[in-house]
Each structure stands twice: as structure tokens, then as C-alpha cells.
Amino acid sequence: MLRNARQLLASTVSGQASEEAYKVIEKINMGILNIETINPVKSLRELTGLKELVKNSRVVALGEGAHFIREYWEFRQHLFQFLHEECGFNFFTMEFGFVEGFKLNEWINDAGDKSRLADYSESAFKWGAAETMKWLREYNADNQRRISFAGIDISEAGGTILPALLQIHDYLKKVDSLEALIPDLIEIAESFSDLSSIKAINKWKNISPQNQYKLYAEMNKIKLRFLTLKHLYVQASSEVEYEIAFRFLETAITTIYVLQASADMFSGTGLPFDMSAREKFMADSIMWHLRHSAPDTRIVVFAHNNHIQKTPVQYGDYVTAYPMGFYLNEYLGTDYATIGLTTTDTRIPDMDLDNSSSVGFKIVSKKVGLPVVGSIENLLVEHGNKNKLSFIDLKSSRQSQELEKIYYFRSQSAYITTSSIQKTFDGLVSIPQISLDKSIRF
């Protein structure tokens, strides 16, 4: 069982780890596939291949094959600390609201009572990120090399525009009489806002088209004012305040678009690739934080595999979106590295839509059996790694004929189709057994 990253590294440094923790990582004879089994109670410092994989990357994305999995969170936390201490990564981002991230960063950096995370972020407290947020706060309190935190996503994955709208209202009060438009927009926003994006989508469909169009049109009117009157806005505030407020405005507008796109998708009338809007927003958020941070900033991002992958998200013949990783790969090239997390387990906690649930879905344990032929997980099983915590360095395996025959990888309890697993990820970690995160509070 994986333990807290801090405990793992502390035990190694202090010499109190078991004898097993000092065994050399077992090399599995898979030729240039370069698969290693990782002992979960040892430091990852011996994974020299990982250092080589990330090299000088400015952004490293750590994925997960399914949400709400305890082992994925714990392993990534361990891996993040390795990247921070061994490779100089100093900025932690995740699939979390861009707007809300500013307030949560205050708590991580010692604002407020350490036991009152929910006061700063109800979603972080309820949706499985609480332990990692607490770890970040404790780490920053104990170390001079502090870690910055930021969100990169639209609010509540599309559940609300209120956090952005309220901040925009406060800013416009300082710079433009246009702030008089905002109260009516807040009233509309309150009618569909929810901590669950699925619930918000259902509420959005019940809003009159007139109010939907009004919200979208008025927000874009405000955006044009921001763009054309930037010099006046900056004079009345500051360059930094302007840049943040403008990004908040883009957050709200993107969220409205994604809400409508999601509603259309569920009704079968959606446009191809429409969900790419959210993905590009997340990629642009990471670039925004890079531009507004110190030159030596190196970012680690936690997000689902389907967000971090570099190739389109495709189920069978149906392509849903160009993911965040596709855009980051365009922006950064070799400065962007991806490490996906998957499993060879035969049961996977998954989300099923359920209108009776407070969040619009229920988590169920689904029996998925052994991985399908042609999947990367099946390749692990064929090479005796079904019950081993394994790392595959795909960058150093470019000529593998076996990898050329991989067309699928797991996503939740389904499979994503890919023409090249090596173009999709730079590395993959397989955790043999996974379980539901019991810290989830819904």
C-alpha cells in the first residue's frame, strides 16, 4: 500500500525504511520497452529514467485513468515531491477552477485556520483533493523552497460562472460604469450554478433561450470593452489586476460555451470537437501562469489522462475533443512531458449518471475483466507485469514493434483509441490494484 509521500521520503533519508526499500529496482527483460517494477516503499530517486524523460521540460503532466482513485492520488503526490526536490519543479497545478485557485493558494500558503480548508474551497474539501492540499500547506510551512499552487480549469468543470462573475463585478466597479450590467447576469448565473457540472448542465437546459443569449452576448460585450479600453482600465487599477480580471472574464465566457456544448452533446445535436473549448482553456491557463511567473518556473499538472494526452480523445471512431495536452504539445513541443497512470486491475470505480444523486452521478465498482488485446495494459499482462507497479519509458522505446501494435489504453472502464501510444504519452505508470478514495464527501 502506498503511503504519504512525505513519510516515504523521510523513512528513506532517516534510514528507517525496511530492508526491502533498498533493493535494486528489478529490470524486466522487455528489450527496448524499458519497463521497470517500482517498489512503492522506496524513494523514486533511483528512477533515473524519469529524470531523463522530463529533462528540461517546463511542464510535466501526471495523469490518472479514472477519477476518485486513492492510489492514483497518492502515487502522483509522491512523484510530484520527487520532481520538486530532484528536478526543480516549483509550481503545482491541477484540474481545478482557475478563479478559485487564487483563494486556495492563499490557504496553502498559511492563510486562515489549517483545519478550515472548506472555507477556502468547498470543492477541494469534498472532491478528493483535501489530503494533497493539506500536504502542500504543511510542506510550505516546513521548507524554504515553497511550492506555488494554481487552478487551470473552468469553475467546477463547468458547473458555475459565479466565482468569475463576482470577481469581474468587483473589478469593474473600479474601472467602468459597465459594472451596472453584472447584477442581472449574476441573477441568471445563480439559476444554474452547481458544484456538479452535470447538475448545472441540466439546469442550463431549463433556462430560457433569451436569458442564455443575453448572458453570452453581455459577457462578450464586456470582453470587447476590456480589449478596447485596456489603457484606461490599467490606469484605474494596475497591469496585474487587469490581466487577472481579463482571464476571469475568459473563464466565464468559456464556461457558458461549454455548458451549451455539453447540453447539445447529451441531446445528440453537438458539433464535432466542441468539447475542445474547455481543453484549450486549460492549456491556455497553464501558459498564462508561465507568463506571469518567474523565468525559472516549472509546472507539474494533475489531470485525467484524457486531458493530458497529446493526441485526440477518441472512443472507437468517435473523436470527442482535442485535449489540453494536444495544445500544450503545440505550444511547448519537447518542453511538455506526459506521464499517464493506468491499471491492470479487473475492477475499476467509475461514474454512472444518476439524477437522484446530489452530484448527478454515482460511483460504482465495475468489473472490467482482463485488458483487451491491443491495449497497453494487455501488453503489461503478457510480459508478467499484471501484479507489479510498473513504469514504461515510451520516449526511449521509439522503435519497438510491440508498441506499434498498441491501439488502446484504459479510460475509466472504457478504452481510448490511439494510432500511436508513443505519440500520446511519454511515459506510463501502471498500478496493479486500485480502490475508491474514501476521503470523497458526496
Per-residue pLDDT, 47: 61
Determine the average pLDDT of the residues in 343-366.
89
Give the tens place of pLDDT for each residue, 87-146. Answer: 899 999 999 999 999 999 999 998 888 899 999 988 888 888 888 999 999 999 998 888
Q: Report DSSP letters for 289-333, one per residue.
A: HHHTS-TT--EEEE--HHHH-SS-EEETTEEEE--HHHHHHHHHG
pLDDT at 38: 66
Which grid coordinates are listed for 107? Answer: 490557504
Residue 31: the pLDDT is 34
Of 322, 333, 350, give the one whose Cα is nearest residue 411. 350
At residue 24 the predicted structure's pLDDT band, cuts being 50, 70 and 90, is: very low
Residue 20 has pLDDT above 60, yes or no: no
Which has more pLDDT, 45 or 179?
179
Angle at 210 between CA 208 and CA 212, to 5 degrees: 75
Name the nearest CA neighbour of 77 among 113, 52, 112, 40. Answer: 40
Which of 213-222, 260-269, 298-307 is least confident?
Answer: 260-269
Mapping DSSP to helix (H, G, I), strand (E, B) and coil, where does residue 229 land? coil
For residue 287, pLDDT over 70 is answered with yes
- Between 33 and 391, whose confidence is greater? 391
| Amino acid 26: pLDDT | 35
What integer is the mean pLDDT of 344-366? Answer: 88
Q: Of 344 and 402, which is predicted with more confidence?
A: 344
Per-residue pLDDT at 8 exceeds 70? no
Least confident interval from 149-153, 377-381, 436-440:
436-440
Evaluate if pTM is beyond 0.75.
Answer: yes
Considering the chain, what is the average pLDDT of its residues? 87
In this prediction, residue 14 carries a pLDDT of 31
pLDDT for 237 beyond 50? yes
pLDDT band at 55 (very low <50, low <70, confident <90, very high): confident
With cell 499484471, the residue in question is: 386
Residue 245 sits at φ, ψ, to 5 deg, of -60, -40
More confident residue, 235 or 145: 235
